[in-house]
Structure 1
Amino acid sequence: MKKLILATSALALTAGFAAADVVRMGTEGAYAPWNFVNDKGEIDGFERELGDELCKRAELECEWVKNDWDSIIPNLVSGNYDTIIAGMSITDERDEVIDFTQPYTPPDPSAYVAMDPDVDLENAVIAAQAATIQAAFIAEQGWTLVEFATPEETVAAVRNGEADAVLADKSYLDTVVGTDGLVMLERTEAIGGGVGMGLRESDGELRAKFDAAIQSMKDDGSLNELIAKWEVSSQW
């Protein structure tokens, strides 16, 4: 689904997870329905429910850690938490810095939201969250890109006229369409790979446990049920 981020930090590549049976799960908490903070101040969403179930099947105890997107890979590498479960697309660039489990969702299409359904994208100013696959795509097209730190800011830029459109995962934009005159354009983009959990390259044993848990959810159909419940992507 979501993003492209390059981490240059190589600190603590040999760090192990916090304790034998406790795993700290790092997420953004700002990308509904994948992950968000609910009214009780708790991490919620598809990936919270998924992560808790994966930990249960892997016989691990989960602790959830909220982290801003732009530092989510460096802070994994430096040992602030043990996994990333934050709508992160598996890409070759990221795989040079961290490891990934097998994908737990297929690729999510990227879509555009604008105030004008007839906006000319090639000549428009398009907003995207910084360090995402969407930002990289716009830049590769040679279109005019404005980047923001959070997904909320990209949508706000369209509302207040700083940008003509925003490009993001369709599942996220579905949550804002229809508010303040925002409309979804017909055009979508197939960019990025499936979404997986990110781990330090030194944590092969932990990756194997989560791989097995993800596969068990695919095999018994519970992963498709969870994807359908939260409407985050197509099913397996």
Structure 2
Amino acid sequence: MKKLILATAALAFSASFAMADTVRMGTEGAYPPYNFINDAGEVDGFERELGDELCKRAELKCEWVTNDWDSIIPNLVSGNYDTIIAGMSITPERDEVIDFTQEYIPGSPSAYVAMADGVDLKGGVIAAQTATIQAGYVASSGATLVEFASADETIAAVRNGEADAVLADKDYLAPIVAESGGELKFVGDDVIIGAGVGMGVRESDTELKGKMDAAISSMKADGTLNAMIKKWFGEDAATFE
């Protein structure tokens, strides 16, 4: 009976999307330059610009919804929005729960940031955001993992001495390091974890996935996506060939 109820709910979500021209884009709003809330209180950043362009090409109307990272997948599955576009790396574990479009950012490195050189990255205390690929990596590395609900809190933990270093996406950390006036620095080697970043959708929403895949492909083909990546992440950012 439970499986029947879940299947019925999934069909209802899929049908509701098929009858609508509006797609609710779920993001965190707290992970610049991927996504953040600007001074006007609106979702901004690379993924806002990207999402609006994808919706335009797919002939859909975007509505933006913010959600805390640690519950972003459950709230997609339960129907609170139709996509996750929030710097989410494609992993086999996540792919068992939701589906993904093709990647819209190539696989990019994670990095450690600390207040000083010489931090013990394998045996020290390392901060990471909850439910991220970086948290999983730290947990298996031998270091002591301390998890925080938001990325901002991981940086604060390093600054106030709760953690020796933080592990996060290098694209996220780079502007923070640059603006710290030498207070923060990259330490150790970059770490490659997982694949690229894609848009998450419910497994039942095959029509929506197809439209977004086609839109991403068209942006790759005409160079628009690479230009957008360089605009938000810098000229040295990894792009699509």
Q: TM-score range by the shorter chain?
A: over 0.9
Query: Residues 16-70 of structure 1: CA distance to partner in whole angstroms, max 9, x if unpaired?
Result: 3555210000000000000000011000000000000000000000000000001
2:75: which partner in 1? 75
AA partner of residue 192 (structure 1): G
AA partner of residue 147 (structure 2): E
Please say which of residues 220-229 and 176-185 is displaced more in the overlay.
176-185
Whole-Å separation in 2 of the counterparts to 1:84 and 1:140: 26
1:25: which partner in 2? 25
1:13: which partner in 2? 10
AA partner of residue 230 (structure 1): W
TM-score, normalising length from structure 1?
0.93
* Structure 2 residue corresponding to 1:197, chosen from 199, 220, 225: 199
Whole-Å separation in 2 of the counterparts to 1:199 and 1:206: 8
AA partner of residue 141 (structure 1): S
Q: Is the 8 A contact 1:13 1:78 kept in 2?
A: no
Whole-Å separation in 2 of the counterparts to 1:187 and 1:117: 12
Are residues 1:160 and 2:160 paired?
yes
Whole-Å separation in 2 of the counterparts to 1:131 and 1:72: 10
Higher relative contact order (CA 8 A, sep 6+): 1
Structure 2 unpaired stretches of 5+: 1-5
2:3: which partner in 1? none
Please say which of residues 181-190 and 32-41 is displaced more in the overlay.
181-190
Q: What pairs up with 1:142-161 in 2 under 5 angstroms?
A: 142-161=142-161
Query: Residues 132-169 of structure 1: CA distance to partner in whole angstroms, max 9, x if unpaired?
Result: 00000011112111000000000000000000000000
Whole-Å separation in 2 of the counterparts to 1:213 and 1:79: 23
Partner SS, residue 102 of structure 1: strand
Partner SS, residue 162 of structure 1: coil
Cα distance, 1:122 vs. partner? Answer: 1.3
Query: Residues 208-228 of structure 1: CA distance to partner in whole angstroms, max 9, x if unpaired?
Result: 000000000000000000000
2:230: which partner in 1? 228
RMSD: 1.4
Identical residues among aligned pairs (%): 68
1:63: which partner in 2? 63
2:103: which partner in 1? 103
Whole-Å separation in 1 of the counterparts to 2:45 and 2:118: 33
Q: Kindly indicate which of the two structures has a greater share of residues assigned to helix.
A: 2
Whole-Å separation in 2 of the counterparts to 1:13 and 1:125: 41
Cα distance, 1:186 vs. partner? Answer: 4.3
Equivalenced residue count is 227
Query: Residues 159-185 of structure 1: CA distance to partner in whole angstroms, max 9, x if unpaired?
Result: 000000000000111121142611112
User: Which has the higher Rg, Structure 1 or Structure 2?
Assistant: 2
Q: Is the 8 A contact 2:123 2:142 kept in 1?
A: no
Whole-Å separation in 1 of the counterparts to 2:52 and 2:169: 23
Whole-Å separation in 1 of the counterparts to 2:42 and 2:223: 27
Q: Which runs of 4+ in 1 moved over 2 A?
A: 10-14, 16-19
